[in-house]
Amino acid sequence: MDLEVMRMELRKGWKGFTVFILVVVLIAGGMAQLYPVVSETFEEGVGELEGEEHVRLEIREDSLYLEWEEIDPEDFGLEGMEVEEYIVLEDTGSHMATSRPIGRTRATNITITDVIISPEQERYYGVVAVVGEFRFPVGITSTVERKTPLEEMMETPYFQMFTAGREDLRMDEIEGFMAVELYSWWILLVGVYLSYLSVKSVTGDFEERRMDILFSTPLSRKEYLIQKFMALGLFSLLLVVLAGAVLVLSVYSLGEGLMLSFFVSVVASWPMLLVIIAVSMFFAVVFKSSRGAIGASFGIILVQYALFMAGHMLEELKFVLPFTISNYWDYNAVLLDGVFKTGHFLGLFLLGLLVFTAAILIFEREDIPV
């Protein structure tokens, strides 16, 4: 088979390919270089509650026992005055901005009855001393073991969208950091541009009236699409290989060691990109115009990406995950477990070939506008 169409495609697009590869490589390598700076923010420990050393909380079977240190008004320059009472406040957040009073006493302890606290319930209790018209905070305590800012962030549904369902992923480790900051939106970074190129490579010939000239030669429609697909597949392969290699070197420069799992995980995205190329070329031969084909291709990418993220955020949407191509690029298995899922890799490759075959069948039966 003469590969003239493929050579023409590569000659025509090599400048744009090169620029885009450089952009992706710089983003991949540069993102890794941000890890030391960002990781320092995750080293922050559990913040102290105001005056927590002055208050003690004991959780009993059906009650809470709270005691605190006595306030001496003279410490605040109020000689000759005494504490009239202590007010106990309850809130669901350490800010105590929405607290409500649940008890008043002149003693330095109180028992709150008819209360059942589960380990998951986070409640905060503060004590305020009343001296005349003045109020002095004694301290704040909590019913749960307090978490670091990183632990709190990782438990939020929003953050779980970017972990691809992995509860053991940690942002203070280089694998987890890159999974969230680069891999989670890789399909948008690379896939959208590849989709645009794939559509334009075919619709450009429709819109510029080159099809009839091309097929006046012995070139068949099947050969035409195959060579276009091969050119874009070669470009995307070069992109993931270079991006993976630069990412490995960037991580190595941070003193993290030669972590080839980064290279493997990036290259493992190639079949997913081939599916995007195939889908885009399918829409290109269906619509024969850039506007319609790009709109349909971008819509498919964005919808499946949104479903993939929502499926990890909401339990009731998990059933949609098997219908998204992102679900079968399991980069976390490579990064965190050292496992390469060959079945998923080959499955995506086969899906790309099936969609591309459908594009060929439609193209061979469609009329070409003159």
Task: Say whether both 73 and 189 belong to one domain.
Answer: no
Task: Say whether both 239 and 257 belong to one domain.
Answer: yes
Q: Domains in the chain: how many in total? A: 2
CATH number at residue 97: 2.60.40.10
Distance separating alpha carbons of residues 311 and 319, to the nearest angstrom: 7
Return the pLDDT at 198. 96
Final residue of a structural domain among 142, 163, 184: 142
pLDDT value at 151 more than 70? no
pLDDT value at 43 more than 70? no
Task: Say whether both 190 and 225 belong to one domain.
Answer: yes
**Residue 370 confidence class, pLDDT cut points 50, 70, 90:** low
Distance separating alpha carbons of residues 330 and 358, to the nearest angstrom: 26
What the block records as the tokens of 316 is 């009731």
Task: Say whether both 31 and 74 belong to one domain.
Answer: no
Residue 164 neighbours by CB under 8 Å, 6+ apart: 179, 183, 184, 312, 326, 330, 331, 332
Provide the whole-model pTM. 0.74
**Residue 159 confidence class, pLDDT cut points 50, 70, 90:** confident
| Residue in 313, 306, 269 with CA at minimum distance from that of residue 163 | 313
Residue 47 lies in a domain: no
Q: What is the pLDDT of residues 192-236, one digit of tens each?
A: 999 999 999 999 988 888 887 888 788 899 999 999 999 999 999
What the block records as the tokens of 234 is 């070669």
Burial class (CB in 10 A: 0-12, 13-18, 19+), 136: middle
Q: What is the mean pLDDT of the chain?
A: 89
pLDDT value at 44 more than 60? no
Q: What is the pLDDT of residues 297-330, one digit of tens each?
A: 999 999 999 999 999 888 888 999 999 999 999 9
Return the pLDDT at 355. 98
CB-CB contact of 274 with 232 (8 Å): no
Q: What is the pLDDT of residues 334-367, one digit of tens each?
A: 999 999 999 999 999 999 999 999 999 999 988 7
Task: Say whether both 299 and 332 belong to one domain.
Answer: yes
Task: Say whether both 73 and 204 belong to one domain.
Answer: no
Mean pLDDT of 14-43: 89
On the CB side of 58, how many CA atoms lie within 13 Å of its CA? Answer: 8
Residue 251 lies in a domain: yes
Find the domain containing 227 and state its range: 4-41+151-365
85-91 and 63-68 beta bridge pairing: unpaired
Return the pLDDT at 149. 59
Residue 77 lies in a domain: yes
Return the pLDDT at 208. 87
Return the pLDDT at 42. 65
Give, as one character, the DSSP assignment of residue 164: T
What the block records as the tokens of 107 is 């003693």
Task: Say whether both 87 and 175 belong to one domain.
Answer: no
Return the pLDDT at 192. 95
Task: Say whether both 203 and 280 belong to one domain.
Answer: yes
Mean pLDDT of 247-264: 95
Return the pLDDT at 3. 86
Mean pLDDT of 127-151: 83
pLDDT value at 106 more than 60? yes
Mean pLDDT of 262-288: 97
